[in-house]
């Protein structure tokens, strides 16, 4: 990661709030936005504004306090609105909320360019684009997404990317692009190494168990999962997570495939503790071309051998470091599972711990905000009244 130094005659002015505009809902899956915004809220007010929910009934904003300084803001709009009405209403709702609730200077932090049109009149002291996925390649991506991203890139002070592949894709599009791959809460997932009690819905599943947690969507290779269940009928495949953007009727149904539904972030270590191997059966398609799965270091911190399809940001660095086995075809993936089940766990965990030693969401957060504090709109001249 590159560094960015403050001019010698300036000083960071950290008295600003943070408004995060996100397509990911706070209460969906606990991942990058939640890790970073929760840490930001320990130092400043954070307002997490989501995309609208459409419903029958009145238009309003539902604001809920989640942590001392963090509020989640969810717009609710009428189903009857056309796009023009949605755009004008969202702009009005957001502008009014900011005017009434954010008295201090603020930084606008975007996870989706699609919210740019609703926020273009806000006077942010700094703009951050945290690009954690190539959203334009996801299923049902709006055609205007690429146009809005170009506009956001032109406005942003800083661009962060969620992995190396995304960084390589974006680094020529903006002068200040920084790579921040998904990090890890080692203590949280490390609990899986010592938990011995079984979760009620998993204890009846025989071993060996091959587990996955995460969103089950177009990025999941369900044909691979089906074939693996056929190739290794004695292995039990445990799938944890919500099913999104694909029909549940299309999921493979076999006696050795078990769908346990979504689980909270706090529950995950107890489930992983009952697995013999963790897997990442990602499809090799446009939607996975630039992903950097957060679950890779989480699985490793939990002390489990890992097998994945050849996702670029998994192969490099985890596969190259010998920490994750890679299998592209169903047959190769099945053989990799066989080998993982024979893994010397003590040796694997020793190598894993050494590799993950300096990885943490705390380090990622502090590195990001060192860069944010150097944005021209967030600095003051040394000796000025504001700096005294």
227-242 confidence digits (pLDDT tens): 999 999 999 999 999 9
Mention every residue, 6+ apart, whose C-beta is less than 8 A from residue 165: 289, 290, 291, 292, 312, 313
Question: Which of residues 386 and 199 earns the better pLDDT score?
Answer: 199
**Which pLDDT does position 340 carry in this prediction?**
98
The pLDDT score that the predictor gives to residue 388 is 37
Largest CA distance in the chain: 72
Task: Name the pLDDT band for 387 (thresholds 50, 70, 90).
Answer: very low
Nearest-angstrom CA–CA distance, 261 and 206: 18
Q: Do the first three CATH levels of 10-183+361-387 and 186-356 match, i.e. the same topology? A: yes
pLDDT of amino acid 160: 97
CA distance 161 to 129: 8
Whether the pTM exceeds 0.75: the reply is yes
pLDDT at 1: 42
Average pLDDT, the chain: 92
Check residue 142 and give its pLDDT.
Answer: 83
**164 touches 170 (CB < 8 A):** no
Which residues are within 8 A (CB) of 295 and not within 5 positions of it... i.e. 6 or more apart? 213, 214, 278, 280
Please state the rounded mean pLDDT for residues 25-52: 95
Phi, psi at residue 387, to the nearest 5°? -90, -10
* Tens digits of residue pLDDT in 300-313: 999 999 999 999 99
pLDDT at 385 over 80: no
Sketch the domain layout of the chain as residue ranges.
10-183+361-387, 186-356
Q: How far apart are CA 266 and CA 283, in angstroms?
A: 27
pLDDT at 380: 57
Is the pLDDT at 124 greater than 80, yes or no?
A: yes
Confidence of residue 5 (pLDDT cuts 50, 70, 90): low
With a cut of 70, say whether residue 191 has pLDDT above it. Answer: yes
pLDDT digits (tens, 9 = 90+) for 69-86: 999 999 999 999 999 999
pLDDT at 2: 46
By mean pLDDT, which of 8-22, 270-284, 296-310 is the weakest? Answer: 8-22
Looking from the CA of 140 toward its CB, the CA atoms found within 13 Å total 5
Span 162-179, average pLDDT: 94
Stretch 155-159: mean pLDDT: 97
At residue 138 the predicted structure's pLDDT band, cuts being 50, 70 and 90, is: confident
* CB contact set of 280 (below 8 Å; sequence gap of 6+): 212, 293, 295, 296, 299, 306, 307, 308, 309, 311, 314
Q: H-helix or E-strand containing 265?
A: none
Report which of residues 1 and 187 the model is more confident about.
187
CATH class of 186-356: alpha beta
* Degrees, nearest 5: CA angle 319-324-330: 100
Look-up: residue for tokens 């499809």?
283
By mean pLDDT, which of 131-135, 213-217, 291-295 is the weakest? 131-135
C-alpha torsion 269→270→271→272, nearest 10? 50
Tell which CATH architecture fits domain 10-183+361-387: 3-Layer(aba) Sandwich (3.40)
| pLDDT at residue 372, rounded to an integer | 95
State the pLDDT confidence band at 6, using cuts at 50, 70 and 90: low
Q: What is the Cα–Cα distance from 163 to 210, expressed in whole angstroms?
A: 26
Structure tokens at 156: 């942003």
């Amino acid at each position: 990661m590159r560094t960015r130094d403050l001019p010698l005659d300036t000083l960071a002015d950290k008295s600003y709030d943070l408004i995060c505009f996100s397509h990911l809902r706070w209460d969906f899956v606990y991942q990058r936005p939640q890790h970073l915004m929760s840490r930001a809220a320990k130092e400043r007010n954070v307002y997490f504004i989501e995309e609208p929910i459409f419903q029958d009934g009145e238009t309003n904003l539902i604001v809920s306090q989640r942590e001392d300084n963090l509020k989640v803001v969810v717009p609710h709009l009428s189903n009857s609105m056309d796009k023009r009405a949605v755009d004008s209403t969202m702009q009005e709702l957001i502008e009014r909320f900011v005017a009434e609730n954010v008295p201090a200077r603020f930084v606008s932090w975007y996870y989706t360019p699609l919210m740019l049109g609703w926020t273009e009149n806000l006077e942010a002291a700094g703009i951050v684009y945290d690009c954690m996925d190539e959203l334009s390649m996801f299923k049902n991506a709006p055609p205007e997404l690429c146009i809005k991203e170009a506009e956001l890139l032109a406005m942003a002070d800083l661009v962060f990317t969620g992995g190396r592949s995304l960084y390589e894709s974006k680094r020529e599009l903006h002068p200040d692009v920084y790579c921040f791959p998904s990090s890890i809460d080692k203590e949280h997932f490390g609990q899986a190494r010592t938990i011995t009690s079984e979760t009620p819905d998993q204890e009846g599943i025989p071993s060996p168990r091959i587990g996955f947690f995460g969103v089950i969507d177009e990025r999941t290779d369900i044909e691979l999962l089906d074939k693996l269940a056929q190739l290794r009928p004695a292995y039990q495949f445990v799938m944890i997570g919500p099913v999104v953007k694909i029909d549940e009727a299309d999921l493979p149904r076999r006696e050795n495939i078990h769908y346990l539904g979504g689980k909270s972030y706090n529950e995950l270590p107890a489930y992983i503790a009952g697995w013999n191997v963790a897997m990442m059966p990602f499809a090799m398609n446009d939607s996975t071309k630039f992903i950097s799965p957060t679950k890779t270091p989480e699985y490793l911190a939990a002390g489990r051998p890992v097998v994945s399809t050849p996702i670029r940001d998994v192969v490099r660095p985890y596969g190259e470091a010998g920490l994750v086995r890679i299998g592209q075809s169903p047959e190769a993936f099945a053989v990799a599972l066989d080998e993982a089940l024979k893994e010397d766990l003590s040796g694997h965990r020793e190598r894993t711990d050494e590799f993950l030693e300096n990885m943490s969401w705390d380090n990622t957060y502090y590195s990001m905000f060192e860069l944010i504090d150097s944005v021209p709109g967030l600095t003051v001249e040394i000796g000025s009244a504001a700096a005294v």
